[in-house]
Structure formats: C-alpha cells, structure tokens
Structure 1
C-alpha cells in the first residue's frame, strides 16, 4: 500500500493526501473526532472515539485501492472476500490506540512547530519555493477540507508521530544481521547427484483383480463424480439488444459530419527549421536565398546538416509553436519561408515533402457508424430492458420466458460442476462473470430467483437453476482405465521411493557414488551402429541404374557371396555420478528442482538428501560435495527497505501491546448500518 501511495504523488492533491496518510504510516487514518462532530461512535478506545464518517472514509479509501490494484470494479460482496471491513476496523483501532496513548502521555505540539511542519511541506510551495497560502487553500478545496480542519488533522498526525518516531528511532538492523544475510546469500556449494528414472525399476507387472479392488477401496474418494447442475443463463449487454436496422441513413450522415476527424488523415509535412541567433542574422540569410543560394547550401554555410535541422514529418497540430505551424503549412514545397519569429528565435523553414491528407468517404464507414449508433442506443435502453425483464419475473414468469418476452434468449447449460467443467472434464469458458454465476448457481435451490449479476459497468447476467445431479460414487467399472493407470503410477512411485532410499542410504554410509550407480541402476542400453559402419568393405557406385539408393560393389567375387556382417552395437557411455558447478541457493539446474537445492543448502558437507526430480516420475539423490563460503554485499537501497520494514514491525508490536492495556469497543451494529447505506 505504501508503495502505491508513493507512486501517486505526482499531483498537488495527492501530496496533501500523502501528507495526511503516510506521515502516520498511512494505515491508521485521520482522527475522525477532529474532523467531524459525532453522536455515535464506531470505535472507542478509552476516551478516544472514531466517528462513523471516519469509518466511511477509511472503508471507501481501501475499497478504491483494491479496485485499482486489481484493475477492475468490485461489488461490495467481492470486496468483503478480501476481509475489507475487518481490515478497516483494525486500522482504525490501531490509530485510536495511538491517539489514546498520546492523550494519556499529554503529548502536544506548539503552534510554531505546527506552522513549520505545514510551511515545510513542498506540496504548498509556489514557483519560487516559498510557502503559498493560496496554494494550500486551492488544494484543500479540491479535497473538500477546510483550512481549520487540515490544521487540526495535521496537528493530530504530528502528535501521533511523536510516539511512532520514538518507538522506531533505534530500529535499524545491526551490521551483524547484514553480514549473516550476505553470507547466506553468497554461499556456494557443489553437489554430486544421480537421477533415478521410472525405467530404472524395470517393468511394472499388470495388477490383478484383487490389487485393483483393494486400491479402489482405499482411494474411493478419488473416484467421485462431482455435483452437476443444469442452468439457464441470460446475458444482457448493449450488443444483445442493438438494432442496426433502426438506425436511419440520416442519423449516419449526421454522425459522420460530426465526427469526420475520426475518419480523416491530416496533411503532413516534412519540415526543416534553420534557427538564427538574431533577427539581423535571419535577414542576412534570407537575402542570400533571394540572391540564388539554395537552402541546402545555406544550411551547410551555417555549419549544420539537413538531417540535423529536421523537425520530422508532422501534422500542423503536432507542431508546438503555432507561428511555425502556420508558416510551414502556408509554404510551397521546397520554397524556404521568410524569417519567422518562433518560440526559440528567428527561423527560416523549408518543406521538403508534403503528404496529402485524406478522408474516408461516408460509403466506406457507414456500416461502422451504423453499428456504433445502434450500440449507443442500446446502451441507453439497457436499464429499461433490465427492468422489463424483472417485471416479467415478478409477474410469475421463469427466467427463460421472461427473457423471451423482452427479446433476449436464454442459454441452457446442460451440466456443469463448480469448477466450470462439463461431464467430459472440459472447461466451459464462455460464461459471462463465470465465477460469480457459478457461486450463485451452487448456492440456490431450483425455483429460487436470483438477482442480476453486473457485467462490468454496462451489462447484466441472470442465472436460473433448472436441475441438480448430486455427487455420486463412481463404480469400479466406470473408472477401470483410470484405476489401472493410477495403480501403476502408485506402484511406480512406491518402487522409485524404495530404490531412491536404498541408494541414498548406501551413499550416506560411505559407499562410492559410482559403485552404487553401477550396482543399483541399469547400464544404458546399446544403440545400433549406423548401417554404413557395419557394411562390408568395397567400392560404392554413385547410384543404381534407376537413380535409386547407392549400391555396394565388391571387387572380390568371393566376398560378394559372403553373408553380411551383423551391425555392431555402439558402446554406450557408462552411467556415472553427475556434478554441478559451484552454485548459490537461487541457481537453476536442469536436473535439480529448487526444493532439492534448498534441501542441499540446509545440510552440512557430506550429507546425502533425496527428493523428486524435475522430470515426471523421477527422483534425485544428491550429496553435498563442497561448501564455499562467500559473502554477498547487501546494497544500500535494500538495507534501507529492510530497516523500514523493521521499524514498521516494531511499531506494530508496540501498538499490539498498547491494545492489551486498553478497553477497545467496536460498534458492529453501527458498522452494518453504515455499510447498508
């Protein structure tokens, strides 16, 4: 949250809000008892009270923050799934606890000190760097706060911050911590390892009926068909009710004329600008041009190049200097202008290329405009259609009939589970607001009418539950293929685990790594040698008479009659222990998953660990071969961030301790009333 607030400080208003929020660690809000009078209290801590309006402001601030983070609009129900209300209450309680502690300690701030705090705020400085009361008042008007309210609020924040500053003053982490962190990050290790694969355990025998039956009974929960529901869904967006036939040609022509710029490409010109230090220099240059000198020669005489003085190819409105724009677009091609007074002095312009503007004719864009106008009209009628459909439902029609009555169609989804999958396990991905629709559909009974669910800010979707197929246990016969595959996978995993543990234990007991590999893991199978390497010696013709494959011709007739020698197997390299280079904790290795590397860094040199490999159905036995202590430097920005986190953690613990000594009352009933408004 703090990082988001820091990124939002580009405007003056944002800086004021930042001053009010971040100075007090942003999370505790502004004292509501200072800003607003109240007769009811949301939070009470001792004699400190938080008013309803402060809860409302804090809630809305957090609600909008979540929407910005997710880049989407949220319903209140969705926001509550993030624990919004509970979070806001905790923030306000924390702030009230600090305010009560400040009251009990009789802390204060002098008017002079408060004036300095406000005067030092860069948000209220003018162009000369001095404090500007007009700037302050203008900014406060933008956020609906009076000057007196701001002063009182800033005073409360300053008092609260005295406690925060005192608690966090000596919270910087010691050098010893950063030394240990650097050693932890910089340490490197070398590992010996072997990968054990499924083929290393040999063939898995086919399971008999008894084995499958026992496995099925033991894992029945894996073979349950989920609950399925049959739904009717009605979607209402502008496109669903748009009537292009209702858009007249006159409306299209009128829209075309009103928005012709959308269909136009303005004229563009490639402009060269030769700037002079004075009006006199510019006149002298103009005289040279009038005397016959070319613009290119003039540019060269001024010690410049045509490319160096080019402004690019621009439309007139893209030229920031109006005077230059008018002159450039009044000039003829390759005819330099008279001197023009621009923002940067006197200049002579030359237009080296003109790209004519163009406008698409009405006939080319009429269909596009028709569709846009139809959608615009439909958007205006959206809520009317929504209300008409709801009226039909209120009159007793089911969702499908109500939709048909207002010109919409209901889509029936035969069977779907909570995860949006059909009975074949395929995801039904084209349901609008799928998460909300399914959550609603699986909470209701048939015949129960639900409210419309918003689609963004300009649409609705309704769901009607038609039928329920309850969850059920699948029979052995239904899952025969899956059952067999699962049994084989489980048996493979069991044998792999047993082989891996035997391997690990023998290496841990001191046996030679390669000797254990040779004893427990099968040698690589030989591969057939290339056919050419196994063929008898002889002369080879270029090709057969038919242009086919090469033929081997022996000069010795006896050799021709001899039987062909069998292909000799290529000798495979033996399996041996593999070794990593020196790596740190975050290194990536093709055969070693991160979890196993982490395990290797958690044990002393010589230890042997094992775990799942990267490839499916594989295991790895890993020995820590060498430990190389190396310290990594912790950069200053990271130190500052860690110190800040430590300070905030310390303040949080302090507030927790204060809360244990205070009676905290939260008016939940009032909060519910506020949120219901």
Structure 2
C-alpha cells in the first residue's frame, strides 16, 4: 500500500481543483448509468461522468485563456475533444495497470489527505464533515465517488513515480551540454565592406551581359505560373460615376472644422523660479544685457532641453497665454504665473494659424464620399454578380454587361503587382485550380473580384531585353563581391604569414571571451556560428551580405565548472534533462500499457455527452 506523501498531496490539490472548485455551478450533468461508459481500457471502464468532467475542464481552461466564454463548437475546432479523451484514456490506462498489479491506497491515507484539504475545513480551521459534504454536493459528487477517485489518483501517482521518479541524467551528458553552452572563443578579425571598394565600376560589355545572363538563367526565370482571367470592381473604378450631394460635403466640412483649422501656435521655453522677486531680478539682468537666457538657465542648473515646451497653443499656457502670444518671436516675457511657479517665457518662433477653406477641402471630401458610396454600390452588386456566375455567365460576359473590368495575369507565389497586390486575391489565386468555378470574393478596399484558371505555364526565362538592367546590376554586384574576396584572400595570406606590417591600412579587431550566440558589431551574421566550428589558430573567410570577415581563432576556453554561474546552470540542466527523460519514459510506458490492454470507445455515449454542451 502506498504511503501518503508530497506526490499524493499534489494529486489531491489537482483533484480538488478540478472536481470541487472547477465544477461548482457549471452545470455538469450526472449522466447516471443509462449511457453506460464512453469506453474502456482493458477491464477498466471510462465513465461518462469522467469524460464530461474532462470536457468541462478543457472548456473552462480555454475560456480563461481567451478571456471570454468560448462556445463548445468553437472549442471543438481547437481540439478540446481530443484532449479530454486523451485525459480519460490515460487515467483508465493507469487504473487498469494499478488494478492488475495490486497497487492501492488505504483508507487511512485517504482520510489523512481529505482532512488536510483547506476547502473541507470549517471556521475552526479543522476538517468539517458538513463543509465536506456541501463542497461535494456542489460538484455533483457523493463521498464514496470522491474518495474512490482520490484513491485512484493517488495510486496513479505512485505508479508514475515508480516508473519515472528516479530518473537521473548522465553527468557526461550534462558536462557536454555545459561545455557547449559555456565555451568561449578569442578571435582576431578584419571586416571588408563593399562600400569601401571603388565605386567607379565599368559597365559590362554586351558579351559579358549575355554570358552572365546564360550562366545565371535560373535567377531570371519565371516560375511555374497559373494563367488566370479575372474580373474586378473597386470603389476607385466607380468613384467618378457615382453622384455626391453637395450639401453633404458642406455638412461634413462643418462637422470637422478642427480638421481644417489649426490655431496659431508658438515654440516656447519656460524658465521657472522659486518666487516672483527672483524671477523679476533675472528678467532685469536679462533686459540690461548682463546675462543671456542660456546663462540664466545654467544658473538654475538646467539645460535648454529642460525648458523646452515644444509647440503650444494659447490655452496650453493658462493665464500666461495672452502675454506670451502677444510677444514677438525671439523675445522673453515675464515673470508670469505657471503651474510650477513664476517663470520667464522665451518665444522662439511663431507658427501662424492654418485654415483650409471649403473650396480647398472639397476635392478630398468629394473623393471620400464617392469612394464610400461606391463601396455601397459594389456591396449591392456582389450578390447579383454571384448569381450571374452561378447561372453560367462567363467572366467576359460579366465585364461586358456590368461595370466590372476583365483582365489576365500570370500568377505565381510572391507576385504582388496589379491585382496580386491584394492579399485576398493572392490567397484565392494560390488555391485556385482548373476545376474551380469563378466566385465573387471581397477585397480589403471594399472591391470585389472573381477569377478563373485558364491553364498552367511552365517555368520560362524572361527575355534578356526585359531584364537587362537587372542582369547588369547582378553582374556588378558579383564583380564587386569577387574583388572583395580577392582582397580578403590577400589579407588572409598576410595573416597566415604573420606579416602584420602589410595590414596597416586595415582595422584589426580583437575580441576575447566571445560566447556562443554573441554577435560582434559590423560582422557577418554567421560569424559567431563559424568561429565555434574553427580549429585553434585557423584563419578563415566568412561571407556576409556586402561584407567579408577574415577571422583567426586565437584561443578556446572551457567554462569553469566550479563557478557559481555554471553550478546554477548545471542544476537547471539536470532538472530539465531529468524531467524530459522521465516524461519520455513515462509516455513510452503508457503507450505500451495501452496497446497491451487495448482501448474500446463508445462513440454513441461520447456523442451524448457532447450534446449536453451544445
């Protein structure tokens, strides 16, 4: 018989949380015996109530995670049925095995666990039978059911601990991980950039362009494409043809005056003093030319940035506003009251008011109203067009009979020109096949489209005349990279010969104790990974985007296994490795038990349980 301990207490808390606190008031039905069981593992049945509780627990957990009540239909789409079924099958598998080998928990252990649960204690702080019964009633359980479930859970935990509780990782494995994580590198490196190379590159000859084009033909080849015919109708296409009421434009202008009027603003600095007398004395010295505004700020221990209020309106300055806004630019006024005490205000600039008249705003307003009305027109036409397609009309016929425009496109993944600039079109076009009939789909600007695949086009090289500029740019880039690599090879040879005098023109960098994953500034992104693959004293070239690094590995240092940081890391790795190994071992054990015992499921009973949630 298993003894009560820490592991079993964890099970008790999980059980109480799931059965008592989690179920109270949530309407889990006691299905009784009419439905039988939802299945069995070996000789152990899976009661319908257990499956219902598992479903409810998953549904409540998902709702808590989403921050809103999730319907069962939506939750089912997220896999709660499979998770709930997995829970009860695992539980039955363990129950079947504990029953087979005779693992059990005695009445005394169960009683001790129940009496130790705070949810079952009364006002005196001790176990109270009435409180116990009330909590179970709220969960739809009786004492024997709860205690039987508690007994089974404790036996399951005992079995799990016996199988995987004593797993310890190999220290050789842990040491290997620590060495990998904590090892450091010392390097010397030089970085060459294409921006440092001569920029007056000659243009390639026609022969060089042709040769480069042929050698890199794959870079200038269109992939397999779908030949697509489509129609589209967008608000901008209809905007010029829809009528806009002039009175509505005027009303929109009047309702949004703030958008078309910006009051005068000023760029202002504020220097606050502890009292009006001190501020007035400072202003007198300033007016007499004895001191500058900047010097006054320094006397107060402030920088000009501390005084800057930015651009402010008259209302922003409260009682000081009238005086400040009456002052000219580059003048100082005050002392004036402020929220922080008497202050001097310097006006650095005057930003005049800005007024957009109705006549100036009308074109923009008209376009907004026309686009909005066009969206509504398209929304009304969408169903009509879909009906025409369903009746057998072609895209070409729709284009001839409506405002829709017809077009063609050779579509491939990554194309974003023309109508493929719409993500909605790309989604549909990517999934479209020859067998699909055109349907009306929405665009994100309120437009609509329909598309038809006419055929598949094999990969085709783009004509040289069409891509000549791209070929020339690619040739120049390749030439620049070749020059960069040639120079890098020269630098590498000098490093290998330890001929440092020839490297005076280059910036030689050194870095000590470089950890794995630590990026060195202005180096290729792959440099760190590369130096951890190098041998001691090796010198390599590491390519990056528009740069090459010449790097020498000067030293390798293993981590100090006695350091506090490494000792902490060892504990973490041991715990993680033990947990992962134990989990894998237990999962393998569960699979073997389940396969050996056999699983039977009653789909009718499961459907009846799920129906209660819908």
TM-score of the superposed pair, with normalisation by structure 1: 0.47
State whether structure 2 residue 469 is matched by structure 1 residue 512: no
Shift of 1:155: 1.8
| CA root-mean-square deviation | 5.9
Q: Which residue does 2:17 correspond to in 1?
A: 17
**CA separation of 1:610 and 1:423: change in aligned 2, threshold 3 A:** same
- Corresponding residue to 1:650 among 571, 578, 582: 582
Q: Do the aligned residues in 2 keep the contact of 1:441 with 1:463 (CA within 8 Å)?
A: no
Shift of 1:397: 7.7
State whether structure 2 residue 417 is matched by structure 1 residue 423: yes
Distance 1:419 1:191 in 2: 43
- Corresponding residue to 2:538 among 587, 603, 607: 607
**CA separation of 1:668 and 1:446: change in aligned 2, threshold 3 A:** farther
The 5-angstrom pairing of residues 176-191 of structure 1 reads 183-191=179-187
Q: Do the aligned residues in 2 keep the contact of 1:446 with 1:465 (CA within 8 Å)?
A: no
The 5-angstrom pairing of residues 129-278 of structure 1 reads 129-137=125-133, 139-140=135-136, 144-173=140-169, 183-198=179-194, 203=201, 206=204, 208-215=208-215, 217-219=217-219, 223=223, 230=230
Shift of 1:85: 6.5
SS for the counterpart of 2:555 is: strand
Per-residue deviation, residues 47-86 of structure 1 (Å, max 9, x unmatched): 3454666566656655765676577999999989977776
Distance 2:202 2:88 in 1: 63
Distance 1:37 1:445 in 2: 48
**CA separation of 1:192 and 1:648: change in aligned 2, threshold 3 A:** closer
Gaps of 5+ in 2: 1-11, 23-29, 235-381, 392-402
Shift of 1:578: 1.6
Distance 2:576 2:32 in 1: 30
Q: Do the aligned residues in 1 keep the contact of 2:41 with 2:93 (CA within 8 Å)?
A: yes
Gaps of 5+ in 1: 1-11, 23-32, 235-388, 399-409, 453-460, 519-572
Per-residue deviation, residues 359-404 of structure 1 (Å, max 9, x unmatched): xxxxxxxxxxxxxxxxxxxxxxxxxxxxxx9999899989xxxxxx
Distance 2:73 2:43 in 1: 33
Q: Which residue does 1:597 correspond to in 2?
A: 528
Q: Do the aligned residues in 2 keep the contact of 1:421 with 1:428 (CA within 8 Å)?
A: no
Distance 1:468 1:102 in 2: 61
Q: Do the aligned residues in 2 keep the contact of 1:608 with 1:624 (CA within 8 Å)?
A: yes
More helix by share: 2
The 5-angstrom pairing of residues 476-555 of structure 1 reads 476-477=462-463, 478-486=466-474, 488-489=476-477, 506=493, 510-512=496-498, 514=500, 518=503
Distance 2:18 2:430 in 1: 38
Per-residue deviation, residues 197-253 of structure 1 (Å, max 9, x unmatched): 33677758637353254246434665555676858899xxxxxxxxxxxxxxxxxxx
Distance 2:169 2:58 in 1: 31
SS for the counterpart of 1:622 is: strand
**CA separation of 1:446 and 1:93: change in aligned 2, threshold 3 A:** same
Shift of 1:426: 7.6
State whether structure 2 residue 568 is matched by structure 1 residue 639: no
**CA separation of 1:467 and 1:649: change in aligned 2, threshold 3 A:** same
Per-residue deviation, residues 561-584 of structure 1 (Å, max 9, x unmatched): xxxxxxxxxxxx610432113332
Q: Do the aligned residues in 1 keep the contact of 2:37 with 2:45 (CA within 8 Å)?
A: no
Distance 1:154 1:436 in 2: 52
Q: Which residue does 2:268 correspond to in 1?
A: none
Distance 1:219 1:213 in 2: 9
Distance 2:583 2:96 in 1: 15
**CA separation of 1:634 and 1:149: change in aligned 2, threshold 3 A:** farther
Per-residue deviation, residues 242-298 of structure 1 (Å, max 9, x unmatched): xxxxxxxxxxxxxxxxxxxxxxxxxxxxxxxxxxxxxxxxxxxxxxxxxxxxxxxxx
Shift of 1:597: 1.7
Q: Which residue does 2:510 correspond to in 1?
A: 579
TM-score of the superposed pair, with normalisation by structure 2: 0.51
Structure 1 residues 48-57 or 13-22, which shifts more?
13-22
Q: Do the aligned residues in 1 keep the contact of 2:228 with 2:454 (CA within 8 Å)?
A: yes
**CA separation of 1:187 and 1:495: change in aligned 2, threshold 3 A:** same
The 5-angstrom pairing of residues 312-351 of structure 1 reads none
Shift of 1:195: 1.6
SS for the counterpart of 2:166 is: coil
Per-residue deviation, residues 76-107 of structure 1 (Å, max 9, x unmatched): 99989977776666655544443333222121
**CA separation of 1:113 and 1:638: change in aligned 2, threshold 3 A:** farther
SS for the counterpart of 2:552 is: strand
Distance 1:72 1:224 in 2: 45
Q: Do the aligned residues in 2 keep the contact of 1:35 with 1:153 (CA within 8 Å)?
A: no
Distance 1:155 1:117 in 2: 10
Per-residue deviation, residues 610-657 of structure 1 (Å, max 9, x unmatched): 4343xx322323222123344352576983685266235324323314
State whether structure 2 residue 121 is matched by structure 1 residue 121: no
Per-residue deviation, residues 111-159 of structure 1 (Å, max 9, x unmatched): 2111222332344445654334455455555555554433332222111
**CA separation of 1:601 and 1:208: change in aligned 2, threshold 3 A:** closer
**CA separation of 1:446 and 1:396: change in aligned 2, threshold 3 A:** closer
**CA separation of 1:154 and 1:672: change in aligned 2, threshold 3 A:** closer
Shift of 1:162: 0.6
- Corresponding residue to 1:110 among 87, 102, 106: 106
Q: Which residue does 1:308 correspond to in 2?
A: none
Distance 1:462 1:110 in 2: 72
The 5-angstrom pairing of residues 346-425 of structure 1 reads 422-424=416-418
Per-residue deviation, residues 428-481 of structure 1 (Å, max 9, x unmatched): 47x6xx99988887898225699x9xxxxxxxx999844447664565245444
Q: Do the aligned residues in 2 keep the contact of 1:36 with 1:53 (CA within 8 Å)?
A: no
